[in-house]
Structure 1
Amino acid sequence: MVEVDLVTFAAAHSEGAVVIDVREPHEYMAGHVADARLVPLGHLPAYAAEIPRGEPVFVICSNGNRSGIASDYLDRLGVRAYAVAGGTTAWQQAGRLLVTGPRPRAA
């Protein structure tokens, strides 16, 4: 697993990086990083073909456990995947905003 810190992730996010949130729908709806695509970890194999191969993909969950599993899986498929250290919990604790609801939205 390749993990990135929040500073690295924030810079990539501000430039429009692909972000995949591997939490469950109720967790995502309660608060997610703007523009993150919801793909629960258990659904990742079915969605994997749609994930870009030519650019970095940042995977986030609540605290970093599921994103590590997901980034390892995607890496084996040829995706440059990075787990976000600390997940949405660390993102919010760092003063970054989360958006609520069922759809990704711009910040």
Structure 2
Amino acid sequence: MTTPPPGQVPRVQPEELPENLSSNSVLLDVREDDEWQAGHAPEAVHIPMSKIIDRLDDIPEADQVYVVCRSGGRSAKVTAYLNANGWDAVNVERGMHGWSSIGRPMVSGDSDGEPYVL
């Protein structure tokens, strides 16, 4: 994990994430429903960015929350918001594009389709 300069959010490259997150960590996917259905990390929790404020109680208890979107922009905003409100959150740089480019596992909401990043 990279220590951020003042005013920036903590961030981590997908390559730096452990292959299997510990029970003290959660991967929070903040993409929209159609993006989630196309393909997501198997262990991720899905709460779209547009619903984060209303669904804060749905974020599992964890020492570390890794926040991911498609490329890292939305997740950086959510990370900043969570950190300002008591969470220990880290933005996953390059998002699901980075995740899939290094061969991390993905699943699709469509049982017949191959997962992909939308």
TM-score, structure 2 normalization: 0.77
Residue 13 of structure 1: how far off its partner (Å): 4.0
- Quickly say closer, same or farther: Cα 1:65–1:13, change in 2 above 3 A: farther
CA contact (8 A) 1:53 1:80 kept: no
Runs of 4+ in 1 over 3 A off after TM superposition: none
| Counterpart residue number, 1:45 | 53
1:1-107 to 2 correspondences below 5 Å: 1-9=9-17, 11=18, 13-16=20-23, 17-52=25-60, 55-101=63-109
Aligned partner of residue 32 in structure 1, secondary structure = coil
Q: What root-mean-square deviation, in Å, do the aligned CA atoms of Structure 1 and Structure 2 show?
A: 1.8
Residue 55 of structure 1: how far off its partner (Å): 0.6
Count of residue pairs the alignment pairs up: 101
TM-score, structure 1 normalization: 0.85
CA contact (8 A) 1:56 1:80 kept: yes
Amino-acid identity (%): 31
- Structure number with the higher helix fraction is 1
Which deviates the most, 83-92 or 45-54? 45-54
Residue 14 of structure 1: how far off its partner (Å): 3.5
Residue 54 of structure 1: how far off its partner (Å): 5.1
Structure 2 segments unaligned to the other structure (5+ residues): 1-8, 111-118
From the CA coordinates, give the structure whose radius of gyration is larger.
2
The structure showing larger relative contact order (alpha-carbon pairs under 8 Å, at least 6 residues apart) is: 1
